[in-house]
Chains A and B, each alone.
Chain A
């Protein structure tokens, strides 16, 4: 529909310029400068299109509102996302585990994300799954996603936050229900406890690779980090720490 406005310009601009070129034989009316029908068309057509598009925009904005829960039969999987410089922490509050560098989600089930940042503004996007949203210190934003089938997707920070910005990637793993349960079980059994000391290592301005080193894990280019024994209420305490400045280490409670 937009092409109704754009295409005539693309075609007519070179055509008019050539047809009415200097030295050509086309009619020349140097004083002609107004026509009501033409005016009506060049105001009316774009306006009509914008009205139609506005309706579409209103509907799609509400339909695809990242805050709106997705239609589903069962309860969504809740994930709390915390942005650090220069990595993401994914907390599964109902399952007691967390991860960095990797976000697992069961395909076919809606995911409900809550996001915040423990540093500057960041922005989470998994291009294949869509819908980017800011993660901001002291504030919570929401996002609902669903992967229709299993797969591996690249996820990243989209809001520049310093030297390690371009390395702030993660892998979104859409898994079968069984695969997802296995992933959780793996995190629970093999993950390190998210202690106050571990938290201190996470919140440094480091890339994931350096954070792994600080956590005493072997080097791995994109190796994920799994945490078990995630203190309950951690996410809320991280958010609150920006409002109540006595909170020193949100994981130390």
Chain B
């Protein structure tokens, strides 16, 4: 017993998802146990299948040296996005199960209270920390260095470590499907409910460590991106010449640096309460949960702008590129972006107007909240005027953009309503709030990230995504969203609370059924994305764009081969204006060979990211289950690796000039035989990534 305890802490067979169902086979336990067991089997099965396929096709070496230990910002970016898609699938399936429960909830539904609570907690935690954050981090990772004319980010190994930390957090959320249970405290994890007095189990601990790992990773990402933008811009790439996406990346990075530590501190103090009997947020002995609430939202509010700003950056590129026109109001957009960044730190109290503070305080924070609406509104109008007198092409990213503009202002409208404390008192914690923030984050963040995925996929892999399936998926997401969330506004106005398992009044039923139907349509959209990817891979010869410029792009990355070489630029570009690549195409200076090629110094691969990923996961897993030897061993291993890495002298390798030259000339030869296409043929197989110069007037 003691030996077992020493070895496994509080982990036992009871932690398996089917234990309860086998020992207490009530109808509800069997249904919930079956769902949980199936989910656990999907996780294990998926991992097993991946291992099997990699072994079968002998790809372990490729996986290790080309991906897992790679410090190339493009590959790290792609891995982030792969992670985001896996987590998106889980988050969406969970949403569907919850909406299914709600559609049948008048008869009690099929989920147990505990299971439902885990669902809304994992759904929120995953969508924020393990879907949206990795997605935007991946997109910035891939695009931003290319846009500013850099060869890599400022700290390539730290970049890999950030990915490792985020992946470890995600793995922790995934393993909780097979071993033990997840938190029931919601994505915000308010104490005292999450203190051990009320929740002694492993769930909250899983949540704490998953979120802590990812918040550390995100803070390091923020530092990395900000320094990259400050220090690694190509000659002539002044701040006011940077593409808007890079500007939003900068704003998001600054927010990450200042906001993520507040979360790390909040979860850290909560961990001290739970593990060592501290009293930061407990009911008794002087603890005060209000401090947690403030700390959490000092992170939490900037966080929503961390999520949305990169999407705004994508929309700026999308509207400008697919309207064939310079972005309207560049300076305004930059100012608005940075203003949002600053204001985002001044509004956190609007998450708890109902906590009993004075009307003066509430009113001040309410007004600050409405103020954010101004720069946000300016942005929407700037995109609108970007289309004005342009030549708008209805590609998948633009369709997402149009839907975003129209849906987002409706969300903004409800946001302005919620900003008024006297209205918030009525609808706080109701479905109205749920409808509002999904209205901001689905058309805002998710559509933006998906638009970015469609836009830059050909740059990353050298072939376009199938347009028809993309459009199917986009329309599913858009109309599914409308069907799933607009009814929730009505429910909220009726006073229907959030996080509620059951209801007794049939008046709610039609709203619930509509929302479930919408959720299913969204799920069809996800399926559409999977089919699109498979179809595109099958037809990748027809969809290939080796010349690298499938959309008549405007910024530097479109002047590179698709996919770009590891070192991005054969010769660092000289920038003399905004829309640098458009300028080069107009002046005829694009697709040239530099007069002379030089050796390029690139960082060597590093296993540090993987060591931190595995070590961080094991240490966190040990902490969750009180397996102390594992915590010590994993921490020591990470520390030793970190110290050892400090003594590594040769972290760079040289790519000789002749190799660079050869690759560049080979690409120019491809460009030379590529038929330039007009924008009318953009979606046809003849688009091989070379654009006809189309000027107006």
Residue of B nearest to A33 (CB): B326
> Quick check: B416 and A22 within 8 Å, CB to CB?
no
Whether a CB of chain A sits under 8 angstroms from the CB of B635 is: no
Question: Per-position contact with A for B360-399: 1 when CB-CB < 8 Å, else 0?
Answer: 1011001100110110011011101101111111100010
Chain A residues within 8 Å of B201, by CB: none
Whether a CB of chain A sits under 8 angstroms from the CB of B428 is: yes
Q: Which of B363, B371, B412, B430 contacts A61 (CB 8 A)?
A: B363
> Quick check: A53 and B370 within 8 Å, CB to CB?
yes
> Quick check: B113 and A166 within 8 Å, CB to CB?
yes
Q: Which of A68, A142, A159, A245 contacts B356 (CB 8 A)?
A: A142
> Quick check: B387 and A20 within 8 Å, CB to CB?
yes
> Quick check: A132 and B378 within 8 Å, CB to CB?
no
Pick out which of these stretches binds chain A: B58-66, B496-504, B667-675. Answer: B496-504
> Quick check: B186 and A160 within 8 Å, CB to CB?
yes
Chain B residues within 8 Å of A60, by CB: 420, 422
> Quick check: B387 and A163 within 8 Å, CB to CB?
no
Chain B residues within 8 Å of A56, by CB: 420
> Quick check: B392 and A22 within 8 Å, CB to CB?
yes
Residue of A nearest to B399 (CB): A17
Given A61-B362, A142-B356, residue A33 in contact with residue B327 (CB < 8 A) = yes
Shortest beta-carbon distance from B248 to chain A in Å:
18
Residue of B nearest to A2 (CB): B413
Chain A residues within 8 Å of B430, by CB: 125, 127, 158
> Quick check: A22 and B184 within 8 Å, CB to CB?
no
Pick out which of these stretches binds chain B: A39-47, A97-105, A195-203, A228-236. Answer: A39-47
> Quick check: A68 and B391 within 8 Å, CB to CB?
no
> Quick check: A162 and B392 within 8 Å, CB to CB?
no
Residue of A nearest to B284 (CB): A245
Whether a CB of chain A sits under 8 angstroms from the CB of B198 is: yes
Shortest beta-carbon distance from A68 to chain B in Å:
7
Whether a CB of chain A sits under 8 angstroms from the CB of B494 is: yes
CB-CB contacts below 8 Å: B306-352 with A: 323-332, 352
Q: Which of A3, A130, A164 contacts B425 (CB 8 A)?
A: A130
> Quick check: B374 and A57 within 8 Å, CB to CB?
no
Residue of A nearest to B369 (CB): A57
Distance, CA A16 to CA B377, complexed state (A) = 17
Distance, CA A14 to CA B494, complexed state (A) = 32
Chain A residues within 8 Å of B367, by CB: 50, 54, 57-58
> Quick check: A27 and B389 within 8 Å, CB to CB?
yes
Chain A residues within 8 Å of B185, by CB: 160
> Quick check: A42 and B352 within 8 Å, CB to CB?
no
> Quick check: B410 and A6 within 8 Å, CB to CB?
yes
> Quick check: A33 and B330 within 8 Å, CB to CB?
yes
Chain B residues within 8 Å of A158, by CB: 428-430, 497-498
Whether a CB of chain B sits under 8 angstroms from the CB of A134 is: yes
Q: Which of B191, B290, B366, B429 contacts A159 (CB 8 A)?
A: B429
Shortest beta-carbon distance from B614 to chain A in Å:
34
Distance, CA A185 to CA B634, complexed state (A) = 67
Shortest beta-carbon distance from B153 to chain A in Å:
30
Chain A residues within 8 Å of B191, by CB: 120
> Quick check: B389 and A29 within 8 Å, CB to CB?
yes
Chain B residues within 8 Å of A67, by CB: 356, 358-359
> Quick check: A17 and B392 within 8 Å, CB to CB?
yes
Shortest beta-carbon distance from A151 to chain B in Å:
15
Q: Which of B378, B429, B680 contacts A42 (CB 8 A)?
A: B378
Whether a CB of chain B sits under 8 angstroms from the CB of A154 is: yes
Distance, CA A120 to CA B428, complexed state (A) = 18
Whether a CB of chain B sits under 8 angstroms from the CB of A141 is: yes
Whether a CB of chain B sits under 8 angstroms from the CB of A156 is: yes
What are 19 A-B pairs at a CB distance below 8 A? A6-B412, A9-B380, A14-B402, A14-B406, A16-B388, A22-B392, A29-B696, A33-B328, A53-B416, A56-B420, A58-B367, A120-B198, A127-B495, A128-B495, A133-B356, A136-B355, A163-B113, A165-B501, A167-B502
A-B contact sample (14 more), CB < 8 A, given A14-B406, A26-B389: A10-B406, A10-B409, A14-B402, A22-B391, A23-B680, A28-B389, A33-B330, A38-B385, A43-B374, A50-B370, A57-B366, A61-B363, A160-B185, A162-B193
A-B pairs, 7 with minimum CB distance = A127-B495, A28-B696, A158-B429, A141-B356, A64-B422, A65-B359, A42-B381
Chain B interface residues (CB < 8 Å from chain A) = 113-114, 117, 184-186, 190-193, 198, 283-285, 289-290, 323-332, 352, 354-356, 358-360, 362-363, 366-367, 370-371, 373-374, 377-378, 380-382, 384-385, 387-394, 398, 402, 405-406, 409-410, 412-413, 416, 419-422, 425-426, 428-430, 494-495, 497-503, 505, 679-680, 695-697
